[in-house]
Amino acid sequence: MMRRVVLVVLGLIWLGPTYLLLVNASRPADAYDPSKAWVPSADFSLFDNVAVALDRIDLAASLASTALYAVVSPLLGVLVGAMAGYAIVVLRLRHGFFWFMLIFGGTIFPSQMLLVPLFIGYSEAGLYDDRLGMLLLYTAINVPLAAFVLRNFYSGVAFSIFEAARMDGASTLRIFFRIYLPLSVSALAAVFILEFTFIWNDLIFGLVLTQTASVRPVMVALSGLITDVYAGTPVPVGLAVGLMVSLPTVVLFLATQRLFARGLSLGSV
C-alpha cells in the first residue's frame, strides 16, 4: 500500500509541469496571473491563443520543414545504420569493430563542438540555410545510433539464415532487403521514433544553420516567439503554441509505445 502511495505522489509531482502548461495555455491572453497559475480559468481560450501565435509568426512553413527533416532523415539514417550493422556483423567486414567504432565514435563529441566547423563548412559549400543541408546533417547524426542498435540486433540472428539464402543464390543486397531488414522492423521503428523526437525538438542546429522561415525548424520559430514574451507576447500565447508544437512527438510515442519498448529490448540482446 505504501509503495502505491509513493508512486502516486511521485506521478503527481512528475505531472505537475504538464498541468501548469495545460491550465495556463488555456487562459485568455490577457488573464495571466502568476499568483493564480495553479487555478484553472473559467474561459477556455487555448485555440484563440494558438490563432494569435499563428498571426505573429509563420509557423506553417517551419512545421512543413520540420516534418520533412523528422521523417526523411530518420528513414535514411536507420537504413544506412542497418546496412552498416549488416556489413559488420553478417558480412563480417574486415576490421569490423574498427569501422563500428569509427561510426559510433562521433557521438562522444558534444554538439556544441560541431557548430563552428559546420557553420563554416556549410557557408563555403552553399548549404547554409538550405533544406538539403539540414537533411544531410540530421541523417549523419542519426546513423550512429541506428548502427549501434542494428549491430546488436543482427548479432542475435542465426548466421545459418544468411548461409541458406546464399546457397539458394540470393545476392547480399537481396538477403538484406528481403530477410534481414524485415526481421528488424521493431528495432528500426524504435530507432526511428527516438530520432524523430530528437529532430523535431532540435533547436541548436536549426538556430545556427538556418535563417529563413521556410527552412528553419519549428523550434527555432517557437524560440523567437517565446523570447518575445518579455517584449509583449502574452504568456498564455507562448504556452499554447508550445503545447501545439509538442503534440506530434507525444502522439507518436503514445501510439507506438509497445513497438518502441519491444524494439529497444530486441536491440539490446
* Burial (CB count within 10 angstroms: exposed 0-12, middle 13-18, buried 19+), residue 86: buried
The three cell numbers locating residue 48: 484563440
Q: pLDDT tens for residues 156-209?
A: 888 888 989 988 888 999 999 999 998 888 888 888 998 999 999 999 999 999
Q: Whole-model pTM?
A: 0.85
Q: Quick one: pLDDT at residue 24?
A: 86
Residue 18 CB coordination number (10 Å): 11
Q: Are 217 and 69 in contact (CB under 8 A)?
A: yes
DSSP 228: G
Give the DSSP per-residue string, 127-179. Answer: -TT-HHHHHHHHHHHHHHHHHHHHHHHHHTS-HHHHHHHHHTT--HHHHIIII
**Residue length, the chain?**
269
For a pLDDT cut of 90, what percent of the chain falls above it? 29
What's the CATH number for 53-267? 1.10.3720.10
Q: What is the pLDDT of residue 70?
A: 94
Residue 195: name the closest of 72, 97, 61 by CA. 72
